[in-house]
Amino acid sequence: MYDKLKADIVAAMKEKNTMKIQTLRGVKGNVDLEHINKKIEIDDNLVLDILTREIKTRKESILEFEKGNRNDLIEKTEAEIKLLESYLPEQLSKEELENVIDDVFKKVNPSSPKDMGLIMKELTPLVKGKTDMKEVSTLIKDRLANL
């Protein structure tokens, strides 16, 4: 994934696509920074973490831009999100996500909302990068509340 990122930066420079260059360089820079600061190996999981963090940040920015009525920045940020999402694995459908959550609930067999941590520990590796974790958290909290 990291090699694809570097190759796409070179391709974007040849195309003179400044938005793509800036966005991908930002991601690559954050991956490199995380690698240096935390002394961890650069692998797909690290790149995936950075990509999801970058997308989340941009989505939060869009909310602020909407408050300020900055349509020009909203369009630019949405284009960046679309570019970054193209690097993520195929996203799970609502039904697929529900099935994975069902399987984890059967495995963990939670008895109260206090078991949220156990469920997330089992579920996160299965869905990481494939869905919005905020949505996953909401679904789990709803189910735990109905126990």
79 backbone dihedrals φ, ψ, rounded to 5°: -65, -40
* pLDDT (0 to 100) of residue 45: 86
* pLDDT (0 to 100) of residue 126: 87
CB atoms within 10 A of CB 20: 18
* pLDDT (0 to 100) of residue 108: 87
List all residues 6 or more positions away from 119 whose beta carbon is below 8 Å from its beta carbon.
Answer: 104, 105, 108, 110, 140, 144
Q: How far is CA 90 from CA 9, 85, 87, 140, in A?
A: 22, 9, 9, 22
- The distance between the two most distant Cα atoms of the chain, rounded to a whole number of Å, is 57
Residues of the chain whose pLDDT is less than 50?
none
The tokens for 2 are 């990291």
For the chain, the C-alpha Rg in angstroms (whole number) is: 18
Domains of the chain: 2-85 (1.10.1510.10), 94-145 (1.10.10.410)
CB atoms within 10 A of CB 92: 19
* pLDDT (0 to 100) of residue 91: 84
pLDDT tens across 48-70, in order?
889 989 999 999 999 999 999 89
